[in-house]
Amino acid sequence: MRYILRRREIVADDWAHLGEAVAGDAALIVPLTDLHTDAARWAAWRGRLGARLAPADRVEDLATDLPRLDLVAIEFPNAGDGRGYSQARLLRTRLGFSGELRALGAGVRQDQVFLLARCGFDAIELAPGQDLEAARRALTRYSVAYQPGVAGVTPGRQRFLAP
């Protein structure tokens, strides 16, 4: 059983990734390319559906799928690759996605979760072996921020508010 951080709670993951053994009505996360190349299969999928973006994927390519999706997972192959932060922000603010936005990959660790949450991620699937409880505490590491956040963790005080 995999555990994730959803908002500020540690919960059992009720989603599976494509390739993991699941029933035909499971909640399943499918990479963007699979979603598009095998469109008919996923249109007929009986369970909840999520898409998984790689760093080089463009969020605009997901626009028409969004109404069908309950989750978007964004991959951070290492902590230094920050493209996912912009993908998340665009999904939330430009494409108006309000489902679960999940960060995952080897680059997702306790030292990144504060920024991730401020960009609109509300679910964190930590890199294997990382300490979920420490990550949960790290979400409230800062009580202040200089920029407006997207969603999720919003510190008490911020400057330069959006219009």
Partner 1 sequence: MYRYDELDQAFVEERVAEFRDQTRRHLAGELPEDEFRPLRLRNGLYIQRHAPMLRIAIPYGLLRAPQLRKLAGLTRRYDRGYGHFTTRQNLQLNWPALADVPDILAELATVQMHAIQTSGNCVRNVTADHMAGIALEEIDDPRPYCEIVRQWATLHPEFTYLPRKFKIAITGSPEDRAASEVHDIGLRLKRGAGGELGFAVLVGGGLGRAPVIGALIREFLPLGDLLGYLEAILRVYNQYGRRDNIHKARIKVLVRSLGTARFRDEVEAEWHACRGSAPILTPADVERMRGFFRPPPYETLADRDVAAGREPRFAAWYRYNTRAHRVPGYRAVFVSLKAHGGNPGDATAQQMEAVADLAERVSFGLIRTTHNQNLLLADVPQNRLYEVWRELETEGLATPNIGTLTDLIACPGLDFCSLANAGTLGVAHDIQRHFDDLDYLYDLGNIEIKMSGCMNACGHHHVGHIGILGVDKHGEEWYQISLGGSANGFTALGEVIGPSVPKHEVAATIGRIVEVYRAVRAEGEPFIETLRRVGLGPFRAGAYALHPQAA
Q: Output the DSSP codes for 105-130.
A: STT--TTTHHHHHHTT--EEEPPTT-
- Comparing CA positions, the residue from 57, 124, 122, 120 lying closest to residue 91 is 120
Task: Confirm or reject binding of residue 111 to partner 1 (CB under 8 A).
Answer: yes
- Looking at the Cβ atoms of 22 and 158, the one nearer to partner 1 is 158
Q: Which of residues 68-97 bind partner 1 (CB under 8 A)?
A: 79-83, 85-87, 89-90, 93-94
Task: Confirm or reject binding of residue 160 to partner 1 (CB under 8 A).
Answer: yes
- 99-131 in b/e burial notation, b at 16+ Cβ within 10 A? ebbbbbbebbbbebbbbbbbbbbbbbbbbeebe
CB of 3 to partner 1, least distance (A): 19
Beta strands 123-125 and 3-6 are antiparallel
- Looking at the Cβ atoms of 32 and 49, the one nearer to partner 1 is 32
- Looking at the Cβ atoms of 59 and 71, the one nearer to partner 1 is 59
| Interacting residue ranges for partner 1, rule: CB under 8 A | 55, 79-83, 85-87, 89-90, 93-94, 109, 111, 114-116, 118-119, 141-150, 157, 159-163
